[in-house]
Copies of this chain bind each other. A is one copy, B any other.
């Protein structure tokens, strides 16, 4: 008999695979089932002894799973899956359409309450760890400004835009925080900075044989909405170099709080939180798995409804006891 936290994965894409790997790093958890939209017999996973179940049969797992981690996308999957699963399982998801969080929260909250489950939504790094740091910074230094910078990291939308340019064989775009904007965010002047001012764009392009590189560069740099408003650089490289150096999914970013204290606001303070990630999906998955522990514990205590990372005390995501935490980490 196992006393491990029994995890299910709903959706076996980049995030689902990352969750599977993260579970292996957490000895108090075990992967019990993977739900898929495909024919279950066609899905191969890394872990042995795990059920592969069609998503339509999810309800058959009700008694086997402590927490279901929803690994679908925010555009179309989660708005449906979120409430549907929250009625059956304690759930964790990484819903990341910032503007639609209030309505998503409400629909998951209703469903989770119906099912007496705990659902923690919008878990990951942004929303997620970055959100927590925005909150902490603002609460501690109420007189101040906060800044979020993203990158260096791959933007899928901009990479797609490059690949649509005539003569381009392959392409990838990295969003890079502007050094100048970062410095001004920290210097105490509390500038207003737009997303555009805060970031530059770097493109790596493989041109087709005989293509006009000058024209490709000009077309990219002048592309409205995507590149025209940014400081954009275009680097032409070979397909070999592209395959060797540009297959990973790195990302990261910075949350900066610049605030002031003192009788005359004469003392300036900077709080900075940053991430430098080799694999965006694997890091996101690692956050999801840590918060699955919190969902499990809250459900055990009889809580239910939708939550966000703001509602979760840090101790709930650690496998250590309160005594160990006080002794080792406080």
Cβ-defined contact, B269 with A102, below 8 A: no
Partner of A317, one of B21, B129, B136, B317: B136
Interface residues on A, range: 35 or more
Give the number of times this chain occurs in the complex, counting copies: 2
Cβ-defined contact, B330 with A139, below 8 A: no
Given A131-B330, A313-B313, A327-B101, A279-B262 contact (CB < 8 Å): yes
Given A263-B46, A282-B267, A318-B139 contact (CB < 8 Å): yes
Cβ-defined contact, A268 with B262, below 8 A: no
In the complex, which residue of chain B has the Cβ closest to the Cβ of A257? B275
A21 CB contacts on chain B under 8 angstroms: 261-263
Given A261-B283, A274-B272, A278-B268, A315-B325 contact (CB < 8 Å): no
Cβ-defined contact, A279 with B261, below 8 A: yes
At the interface, yes or no: A143 with Cβ under 8 Å from chain B? yes
A330 CB contacts on chain B under 8 angstroms: 98, 101, 122, 127, 131, 308-310
Cβ-defined contact, A134 with B272, below 8 A: no
Which 6 residue pairs across A and B have the least CB separation, nearest first? A267-B278, A310-B315, A267-B279, A261-B282, A270-B276, A139-B318
Name, among A269, A279, A325, the residue most crowded by chain B CB atoms within 10 Å (CB to CB).
Answer: A269
At the interface, yes or no: A61 with Cβ under 8 Å from chain B? no
**Chain A, range 113-151, C-beta contacts under 8 Å to B:** 122, 127, 129, 131-136, 138-143
Given A18-B261, A261-B286, A315-B311 contact (CB < 8 Å): yes
Cβ-defined contact, B139 with A319, below 8 A: yes
Taking the closest CB of chain B, its distance from the CB of A301, in whole angstroms, is: 13
- Produce 1/0 per residue, A256-294, CB < 8 A to B: 000001110011111111111111001101110010010
A315 CB contacts on chain B under 8 angstroms: 135, 310-311
